[in-house]
Structure 1
């Protein structure tokens, strides 16, 4: 029997619709959001780098979150802005897999960085006498490198297996390239790909999630019998991290749900909004939460923006 499988040179993102002149409004709004993401995260990064009093593990991890937000948004927004103004929504095969890899590594690294931050808060509150020996700047950078290296390797393995699949279709019902819609176009059995995908998801998302929950249970136990001063300090430093973690977990849950549901049965606008929420809200939320809630960063930002005193 003749083999009819093929690997298309382009994928079509079918979730885009013809909105007429409204496309220019959507383009302007999304461009402003992208500029806001870049500006807010750059303020956090530059402030932490220039202010010596912020050269501490907790603020190093916050800086890493902002770097990761810039990385993830760069993998999505430039292409998305072009698609908003385009009449055809085709993306080349190499560009599609590059975008997919960037977005997936961004998502995985966000969880591992949040997991490392939970460990930092656990040591600071539950083992305060050992904090300065267990959490040095060098140790913080080592934990960050380890935290991002594993997702980069795992996502590469999963992406390599997807690239090798023979595909019989090229339609992706998304506004950006996603692994599962590509896999569903395969002409062969994808059990092996599904197993690897589930392994990557569990090790890069659910294990850090469980670790964060475990850390906060231990922190709550310590705070229950601690002084009011310690409880106030713990709340001040842990609340921004907890808000960031919950917001991002909810966003990822929605994204994972979208990849498994038949998007043809869901309103395209709802699907697009949920996909945008996954990529936009955490990147805006992180600098705003940390910039507004942590007095050290807030004071440093105010000092830089107000200029030197006369």
Structure 2
């Protein structure tokens, strides 16, 4: 079959830049990954074990932290292994899997943020109908949708990419990305299907973004009329808004650099730009929600006091 790639191994050349300080980088990366695991697992366990937190906002936060664990697990273990290996290689199948995890993680993050925005819109703008609209069944459907949509979309993307005939095996990044794999396709290979899938994905998640913007316009208009609503907005919407802004800034910056950025930048700087969305949101999100949401903060402070006694 001429449409099947003969490339079976990819070389992650972005790791080469770290050759002079790999032990130091390994140590700090391992510690940082442990912090990510600790923070996100702590929020997840607090929500699961406390029945008072089995409300839509906290269940969505739990899903949010689970997605953070999912995405970082797709990168950090392999990166740590590469730092201690003489050759930074990844199999063809492993590369497609990692590309799937990276993209589905990013899109699932945006999907969950969209559902969280919808939840806050109902709570503040439609408080009398909140519990009827955000029932347990509706919440389960929205959580499943926020996970299944990116999984289904990127399954199609990965299948389309796997049918390309590749003429290169060098990936100048620390991890596999679908767009980079497509760029390795031979010049005579038809990449139309891959481009269509990419534009369809872009359209779907731009729609998510416009929905979130519309939701916050409605929230701000509503909160401007009432002091109580303003207090509720500051307590429950500000963490969501900060998470959204941080996520959008790092992802848009990475995508713009990957598509249009200069390759003359130092490789270490390119590496940092590439992994920003795996560095900042997984730590910032549980910290913001842990400190800002009163019930979560009180639970954490209560646990700290018990341990001191």
TM-score range, shorter chain: over 0.9
Question: Which stretch of structure 1 is more off in the superposition, 229-238 or 255-264?
Answer: 255-264
Paired with 1:24 and 1:300, the residues of 2 have a C-alpha distance of: 38
**In the alignment, which residue of structure 1 is the partner of 2:210?**
210
**In the alignment, which residue of structure 2 is the partner of 1:254?**
253
Tell me, yes or no, if the aligned pair for 2:3 and 2:165 is still in contact at 8 Å. no
Tell me, yes or no, if the aligned pair for 2:5 and 2:162 is still in contact at 8 Å. no
**In the alignment, which residue of structure 2 is the partner of 1:196?**
197
Question: Which stretch of structure 1 is more off in the superposition, 295-304 or 253-262?
Answer: 253-262
Pair 1:230-2:229 in alignment: yes
Assess, with a 3 A threshold, how the Cα gap between structure 1 residues 261 and 14 changes in structure 2: closer, same or farther.
Answer: farther
**In the alignment, which residue of structure 1 is the partner of 2:56?**
57
**In the alignment, which residue of structure 2 is the partner of 1:134?**
133
Paired with 2:13 and 2:308, the residues of 1 have a C-alpha distance of: 55
Paired with 2:59 and 2:98, the residues of 1 have a C-alpha distance of: 27
Paired with 1:94 and 1:88, the residues of 2 have a C-alpha distance of: 18
TM-score of the two chains, using structure 1 as the length reference: 0.94
Paired with 2:114 and 2:5, the residues of 1 have a C-alpha distance of: 41
Question: Which stretch of structure 1 is more off in the superposition, 120-129 or 261-270?
Answer: 261-270
SS at match of 2:11: strand
Paired with 2:298 and 2:145, the residues of 1 have a C-alpha distance of: 31
Quote the offset at 1:5 in angstroms: 8.6
**In the alignment, which residue of structure 2 is the partner of 1:160?**
159
Assess, with a 3 A threshold, how the Cα gap between structure 1 residues 130 and 36 changes in structure 2: closer, same or farther.
Answer: same
Q: Deviations over 1:193-219 (max 9, x none)?
A: 11211211221x211111111000001
SS at match of 1:12: strand
Quote the offset at 1:23 in angstroms: 0.6
Quote the offset at 1:306 in angstroms: 2.9
- Count of equivalent residues: 306
Tell me, yes or no, if the aligned pair for 2:17 and 2:267 is still in contact at 8 Å. no
Assess, with a 3 A threshold, how the Cα gap between structure 1 residues 74 and 309 changes in structure 2: closer, same or farther.
Answer: closer
Tell me, yes or no, if the aligned pair for 1:113 and 1:147 is still in contact at 8 Å. yes
Paired with 1:301 and 1:262, the residues of 2 have a C-alpha distance of: 42
Pair 1:124-2:123 in alignment: yes
TM-score of the two chains, using structure 2 as the length reference: 0.94
Pair 1:98-2:97 in alignment: yes
